[in-house]
Structure 1
Amino acid sequence: MVSDTLAACVLIDYQNIHLTAWDLYPPHGVPVKEALIDPLAFAERVLQVRAARQQPHQKTLTLAKVCVYRGAPSNAKEPVLYSVSQRQRAAWTRDARVCVTYRTLRYPSDWGKPSRFDRPREKGIDVMIALELVQQAQSGPYNVVILASHDTDMEPALEMAARVGRVKVETAGWDGSRRLKIPGRNLWHTTLSARDFVLVKDRRNYG
């Protein structure tokens, strides 16, 4: 018997999705920590919105995996924020479908000096997501892989995944921000709204 459902894997460029939503939706002055996204709720909402927009003959997607990629504070340089990030990962991965991959943030050489205002930056996260995207498209166990990001640096990997992959590649993101595109292909894109943002916010208190 042919199944009426397909297995989906959602790859989340967490900081990009989180900060883009923070820029777009909350009132001015709302702290960035008040715009955290629950990865599982986000992925589930993507599939719900997608299902509402697809044609009746199309198969339903079942969420099989959520892969979250995010920079993590250094335990030595920012121990409080490091502890928060670990509590977040513990909360998010209570559902076995969610996997969180951290990479330590890169800090300025003079980090900690009173005159320093630059924040540490993610380094290598986009490469890790790109590699995962292509690998899942080529040999992953899922029928559909959905990349949630607005980072245009992802477009070459997205193009390769769509060209050489054996599974369907799609994108997802927020209404009002740039949609990732590749030459010569019209990828299915699921757009979440300000209302969806409210539904998928992470309201846990991480201390």
Structure 2
Amino acid sequence: MALRTAVVIDYENVHRMARGTFDPQGDLREYLIHPMQFARAAIRERNDRQREGYPHAELSKVLVFRGRPSAQHEPTYYTRNTSQATQWRADGAVVTLRELKYTYQYDEHGRVVTDEAGRKLLASGSKPQEKGIDVLCALECVRQAQRDDIDLVVLASRDTDLVPVLDQLHDAHRDRPSLSAKVETVAWFDRDALRQGGSLQPTRPRKIWNTNLGRRQLEASIDRNDYR
């Protein structure tokens, strides 16, 4: 019997690690990942690597968590991000966007500096940051693992802040397998350069299955839509 599988994707982590693993000096824009294509490629590779007698996974849902640029501060990126999320949802993914955090300029009185139109001014040299995506991924992994219609949760991330949720799900499935799904991970791996994009594993001595994804899976995952 196939394992009904939920794939939880820490999107920016997967996106950036694809470039970092296969082409560290390359253009990040060339490594836009389509969540549904990525999940299908990952599940196919996972199943191909299973030994005889072990159950295959069957993709049930794909849940994506990603930062969202500000329409005020980064209108071009905001529009593209919105278009991508709309397409991915139409293709079957559940996409959750969380506003990026920006650092602003402050005057000597501790007040945020604004321009003539009342818009907050960004601090010089600052970059927006994702906040809370790891927490959302962790919560979703737990929620999916507790569902009656999910047998396997696959986490796509290399963020070590997520190790505790792997520990929790590993132990929950070990102790009460009928009440908590199995958990596994996936990671990019360039076999030619022997470079891995960071395999996320629970705290020892716990062990879970990790599926390495190579160039073939990368090519199958690239989103080639022209977003405006």
Please, what TM-score do these two structures have when normalized by structure 1?
A: 0.91
1:186 equivalent to 2:207? Answer: yes
**What RMSD over aligned residues (CA atoms) do the two structures have, in Å?**
1.6
Tell me if the contact between 2:104 and 2:121 (Cα under 8 Å) persists in the aligned partners: no
Q: Number of aligned pairs? A: 201
Task: Report 1:76-87 matches (<5 A).
Answer: 76-87=72-83
In 2, Cα distance between equivalents of 1:74 and 1:125: 16
1:99 equivalent to 2:100? Answer: no
Specify the alignment match of 2:55 in structure 1: 59
Q: What 5-or-longer segments of structure 2 have no aligned partner?
A: 106-119, 174-179, 190-195
Q: What is the CA deviation profile of residues 125-154 of structure 1, one whole-angstrom value per residue up to 9, with x for unaligned ones? A: 111111111222233521100000111110
Give the one of 187, 204, 208 matched to 1:173.
Answer: 187
User: Taking structure 1 as reference, are residues 140 and 152 closer, same or farther at Cα in structure 2, changes over 3 Å only?
Assistant: farther
In 1, Cα distance between equivalents of 2:220 and 2:40: 11
Identity between Structure 1 and Structure 2 (%): 37
1:108 equivalent to 2:123? Answer: no
Amino acid at match of 2:162: M
In 2, Cα distance between equivalents of 1:56 and 1:181: 24
Specify the alignment match of 1:13 in structure 2: 10
Structure 1 runs (4+) greater than 4 angstroms displaced: none
Tell me if the contact between 1:39 and 1:66 (Cα under 8 Å) persists in the aligned partners: yes
Amino acid at match of 1:150: R
In 2, Cα distance between equivalents of 1:73 and 1:177: 25
SS in 1 for 2:206: coil
In the TM superposition, residue 199 of structure 1 has moved relative to its aligned partner by: 2.1
1:123 equivalent to 2:131? Answer: yes
Tell me if the contact between 1:138 and 1:161 (Cα under 8 Å) persists in the aligned partners: no
Tell me if the contact between 1:106 and 1:120 (Cα under 8 Å) persists in the aligned partners: yes
1:134 equivalent to 2:142? Answer: yes
In 1, Cα distance between equivalents of 2:128 and 2:45: 34
In 2, Cα distance between equivalents of 1:52 and 1:91: 29
Tell me if the contact between 1:11 and 1:133 (Cα under 8 Å) persists in the aligned partners: yes
Amino acid at match of 2:201: K
1:40 equivalent to 2:36? Answer: yes
Larger Rg, first or second structure (1 or 2): 2
In the TM superposition, residue 78 of structure 1 has moved relative to its aligned partner by: 1.4
In the TM superposition, residue 112 of structure 1 has moved relative to its aligned partner by: 4.7
Tell me if the contact between 1:16 and 1:150 (Cα under 8 Å) persists in the aligned partners: yes
In 2, Cα distance between equivalents of 1:108 and 1:116: 9
SS in 2 for 1:170: strand
Amino acid at match of 1:147: L
In the TM superposition, residue 195 of structure 1 has moved relative to its aligned partner by: 3.0
In the TM superposition, residue 158 of structure 1 has moved relative to its aligned partner by: 1.2
Q: What 5-or-longer segments of structure 1 have no aligned partner?
A: none
